[in-house]
């Protein structure tokens, strides 16, 4: 998107601290300024806090070690000062929600306060310690059911400000044939739960792009998600999920009008865990 054209804050951006993103933090910020993005929210992965020492070594690329949180936050604070007046910068985290591990997260968050927390389900422990994309030997419907159950538990945990990429499930796990209506119901119940719990739902660029590339016979899941957002008056955050600087604000020139056309007028930004609403330009 050319600079000067109004666009929205990007609240899902990674950094090299997670072990699998490329580029320097300042390069992500420069890319955001070049794209005319008014505020950038870094939300790097905190995905290993619940693992044992030996698991942490094995799953080294699942996100930063909590040990590095101090460095991550102080680098963001330095960069924020350097860019003051040119772009807003917020420090957040994308946290893997693991049912039963909530008590491990609370003390970390007390020690390292952030502006906002995204909740993600990348792995369903009851189905195996692996990325959702690797549950290929299973019938997909139970994976969908468990994914949405966990998404709702994350929302209801009271720990998070926004639920990241709900679309992760349909992007990585085969759409369950003949179950479309039921998936749309799960999407709707999850958004309804988020609205009730006052937790935002993320609109992810990759989820939008997936819907442009793939067609589901029963309907468009991106459309269903946004419809539920409007119907239940849920709050949203918007994010590119950039793991490289050039992907900051990815597809926002299509995502923003797609939201507006569907009746979404506002999105959320956060400072010190407090939400503020901004108009979608």
Quick one: 15 or 227, whose CB is closer to Zn ion?
15
Residues 42-101 that bind Zn ion (CB under 5 A): 94
Quick one: 161 or 241, whose CB is closer to Zn ion?
241
Task: For residue 182, give Cα distances in angstroms to 82, 123, 185, 189, 218.
Answer: 49, 22, 5, 10, 10
- Determine if 241 is a binding residue for Zn ion (CB under 5 A): yes
Report, in Å, the least distance between residue 92 CB and Zn ion. 11
Report, in Å, the least distance between residue 181 CB and Zn ion. 27
Which phi and psi (to 5°) does residue 162 adopt? Answer: -150, 145
Taking contact as CB under 5 A, which single stretch among the options 80-88, 113-121, 198-206, 262-270 is the one that binds Zn ion?
Answer: 113-121
Quick one: 7 or 15, whose CB is closer to Zn ion?
15
CA neighbor of 169 nearest in space, from 193, 194, 133: 133
User: According to DSSP H, which parts of the chain are helical?
Assistant: 25-34, 53-58, 69-82, 102-111, 140-156, 168-172, 180-197, 205-213, 221-232, 252-261
How many residues make contact with Zn ion (CB under 5 A)?
A: 3
Taking contact as CB under 5 A, which single stretch among the options 30-38, 119-127, 183-191, 210-218 is the one that binds Zn ion?
Answer: 119-127
Taking contact as CB under 5 A, which single stretch among the options 65-73, 170-178, 240-248, 271-279 is the one that binds Zn ion?
Answer: 240-248
Read off the tokens for 152: 């709702």
Please select the residue that binds Zn ion; options are 120, 190, 228, 237, rule is CB under 5 A. Answer: 120
Report, in Å, the least distance between residue 243 CB and Zn ion. 7
Read off the tokens for 226: 């946004």
Quick one: 205 or 227, whose CB is closer to Zn ion?
205
Read off the tokens for 111: 């020690």
Report, in Å, the least distance between residue 115 CB and Zn ion. 16
Report, in Å, the least distance between residue 162 CB and Zn ion. 12
Quick one: 94 or 161, whose CB is closer to Zn ion?
94
Taking contact as CB under 5 A, which single stretch among the options 75-83, 114-122, 171-179, 250-258 is the one that binds Zn ion?
Answer: 114-122
> Distance between CA 258 and CA 237 in Å, rounded?
14
> Distance between CA 229 and CA 174 in Å, rounded?
24
Would you say 118 and 178 are in contact if contact means Cβ atoms under 8 Å apart? no
Report, in Å, the least distance between residue 239 CB and Zn ion. 8
Cross-strand pairs, 186: none
> Distance between CA 114 and CA 98 in Å, rounded?
19
Task: For residue 187, give Cα distances in angstroms to 26, 63, 194, 232, 249.
Answer: 36, 27, 11, 12, 25
Quick one: 120 or 205, whose CB is closer to Zn ion?
120
Quick one: 120 or 228, whose CB is closer to Zn ion?
120
Report, in Å, the least distance between residue 185 CB and Zn ion. 24
Read off the tokens for 181: 């209506």
Contacts to Zn ion by CB under 5 A: 94, 120, 241
């Amino acid at each position: 998107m050319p600079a000067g054209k109004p666009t929205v804050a990007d609240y899902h951006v990674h950094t090299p601290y997670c072990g699998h993103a490329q580029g320097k933090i300042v390069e992500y910020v420069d890319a955001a300024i070049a794209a005319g993005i008014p505020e950038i929210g870094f939300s790097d992965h905190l995905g290993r806090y619940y693992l044992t020492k030996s698991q942490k070594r094995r799953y080294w690329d699942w996100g930063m070690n909590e040990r590095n949180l101090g460095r991550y936050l102080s680098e963001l604070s330095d960069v924020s000062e350097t860019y003051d007046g040119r772009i807003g910068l917020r420090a957040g985290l994308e946290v893997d929600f693991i049912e039963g591990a909530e008590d491990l997260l609370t003390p970390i968050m007390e020690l390292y306060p952030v502006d906002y927390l995204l909740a993600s389900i990348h792995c369903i422990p009851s189905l195996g310690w692996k990325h959702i994309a690797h549950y290929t030997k299973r019938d997909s419907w139970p994976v969908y059911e468990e994914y949405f159950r966990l998404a709702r538990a994350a929302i209801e945990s009271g720990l998070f400000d926004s639920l990241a990429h709900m679309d992760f499930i349909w992007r990585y796990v085969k759409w369950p044939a003949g179950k479309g209506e039921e998936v749309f119901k799960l999407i709707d119940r999850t958004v309804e739960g988020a609205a009730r719990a006052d937790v935002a739902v993320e609109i992810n660029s990759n989820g939008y792009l997936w819907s442009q590339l793939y067609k589901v016979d029963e309907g468009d899941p991106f459309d269903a998600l946004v419809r539920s957002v409007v119907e239940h008056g849920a709050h949203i955050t918007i994010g590119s999920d950039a793991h490289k600087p050039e992907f900051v604000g990815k597809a926002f020139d299509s995502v923003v009008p797609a939201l507006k056309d569907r009746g979404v007028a506002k999105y959320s930004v956060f400072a010190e865990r407090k939400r503020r609403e901004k108009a979608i330009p």
